[in-house]
Amino acid sequence: MQCKDFEAVLEQEGLAPLPLAAKSHLAQCSACQNLFADLSVLVSAAQQLPAEMNPPQRLWVSLRAQMEREGLIKQPMAVAEEKAHWWQALTTLFKPRVLVTAGAALALAFAAFLTFHRSPMGVTNRSTPAPSVAQVPPPVQPNGVRPSSSGSPIPVPDPAPQAIASAKPRANPKPPAIQHFKPSPSDNVYASFPVALQDVEPNVNGPSLRGSVEADASLRENLRVINAVIAECRKHLKKYPNDTMAREYLASAYRQKAELVATILDSGRSEQ
């Protein structure tokens, strides 16, 4: 057997197991030994590489949004199969979740948009604002405030939200339409960011409807923290709009805020 025949065997049979003739050639030929050893090493190293990798969460959000635009998603089958008698019993329980889920999905979709695109898409009319509400109360110092890593309090930006008429979650809930916006003359995409998303601030200043004083304090504090991070990232991006790492952090902060708002609304902590 010649070296080219040995290579032909490798091509057809792979690295293992080698037929006898190939093995006896291998025992005598140092060049083929080197080739075989090197190929074994690199195949072994390749097999150690992860075959799967987690895509970012925004991939599904973006995909789903596109599928909805194309009308690929229709009435979920699961809803049609549920029995009427206990579906009615869940109506009052279910309604606020529609708003909460819609609000959180809206926030996630805009976070994905923020990460993907440099300039916004198009213009449509502004429609029903997202659920919830009022102005942010001035930051309250609860007991046991968790200090920031630097040891000093995290600076709180002046909350200057535009007041939005409150929508009582339990009466005629209507999922908000997705809102688009057009670029401002200065091409600053954040100047005209939808008010419904950037200013969603449930009022958590009231008494807890059920549950925990400590948990309420923690929610308030963390809402303040996440708002501060969002403000900081936006400030940085105004100065360095092409900074992809800052954009990722901003998108991540919006996602966390969406989840926090969903937790607050879901537990009925927000005043109605």
Partner 1 sequence: MCASSAIAGTTLGGIRRIRNTSSAAIGLLARQRPTEPVAWTEAEAIRRAQAGDAAAFEHLFQLHSRRVYALCLRMVGNPADAEDLAQEAFLQLFRKIATFRGESAFSTWLHRMTVNVVLMRLRKKSLPTDSLEESLEPDSESTGPKRDVGAPDLRLSGAVDRVNLERSIEKLPPGYRTVFILHDVQGYEHNEIADIMGCSVGNSKSQLHKARTRLRELLQEEIREQARQERHAAKTQTGSLD
Partner 2 sequence: MILNLKQNKRTVLSAVGTGILFSAAATALAAAPEQKEHHFEVKGRPTVVLQNIVDGRIEVKSSKSLEVVVISSSSPQKVAIDVEQVGDRIDISATGLVNSTQPHEVEANFTLTVPEQTELQLKTQTGLIYVEQVNGDMQLESVAGDVNLKEVSGYIIVKTTGGSLKCTQCTGKLDFASIGGGAQVLQSSLMKINLMTTTGNLLYDGEFVRTGIYTMKSTKGSVEVHFSPTDSLDVDARSLTGTVDNQAAEFLRPDAHGPHHSRNRGNSFFGTVGQGLAKVELSSYSGTIRILKRP
Write out the residues near partner 1 by the rule CB under 8 A.
7, 10-12, 14, 31, 34-35, 37-39, 41-43, 45-56, 58-60, 62-64, 66-67, 70, 72-78, 86, 89-90
Q: Is 204 an interacting residue with respect to partner 2 (CB under 8 A)?
A: no
61 lines the binding site for partner 2 (CB under 8 A): no
Of 65-73, 75-83, 133-141, 205-213, which part binds partner 2 (CB under 8 A)? 205-213
Q: Which of 10, 229, 231, 272 binds partner 2 (CB under 8 A)?
A: 229
Crossing angle (nearest 10°) for helices 58-69 and 84-116: 110
Q: Which of 163, 213, 235, 238 binds partner 2 (CB under 8 A)?
A: 213
Residue closer to partner 1 (CB basis): 72 or 140: 72
Determine, following the binding rule CB under 8 A, whether residue 262 of this chain makes contact with partner 2.
no
Using CB under 8 A as the binding rule, whether residue 50 contacts partner 2 is answered as: yes
Among 206, 128, 209, which Cα is nearest to 165's?
128
CA nearest neighbour of 195 among 97, 126, 98, 256: 126
Q: In the complex with partner 2, which residue's Cβ is closer, 61 or 226? A: 226
Q: Distance (Å, rounded) from C-alpha 3 to C-alpha 7?
A: 6
- Choosing among partner 1, partner 2, none, which partner's interface includes residue 4 (Cβ < 5 to 8 Å by kind)? none
Q: Which of residues 145-174 bind partner 2 (CB under 8 A)?
A: 146, 148-150, 154
Enumerate residues 6+ apart whose C-beta is below 8 A from 134: 163, 164, 166, 201, 202, 203, 271
d(Cα 107, Cα 261) in Å, to the nearest integer?
Answer: 10
For residue 52, CA distances in Å to 42, 47, 55, 150, 240 come to: 19, 12, 9, 37, 33
Q: Which residue has the tokens 């009231």?
A: 206
Please identify, using beta-carbon distances, which residue of 17 and 151 lies nearer to partner 1. Answer: 17
Question: Would you give the DSSP letter of residue 161?
Answer: P
Regarding 203 and contact with partner 2 (CB under 8 A), the answer is no
Type of residue found at 240: Y
3-state class of 179 per DSSP?
coil
Judged by CB under 8 A, the residue of 253, 258, 262, 265 near partner 2 is 253
Shortest spacing between CB 224 and partner 1, in angstroms: 30
Assign 189 to helix, strand or coil. Answer: coil
CA–chain centroid gap for 187, Å, is 25
Partner from partner 1, partner 2, none binding residue 7, C-beta < 5-8 Å depending on class:
partner 1
Contact 230, 250 (CB under 8 A): yes
In the bound complex, what is the minimum distance in angstroms from residue 19's beta carbon to partner 1?
15
Query: Where along the sequence are the contacts to partner 2 (CB under 8 A)?
Result: 45, 48-50, 53-54, 143, 146, 148-150, 154, 207-215, 217-219, 221-222, 225-226, 229, 233, 236, 240, 243-246, 249, 252-253, 256, 259-260, 263, 267
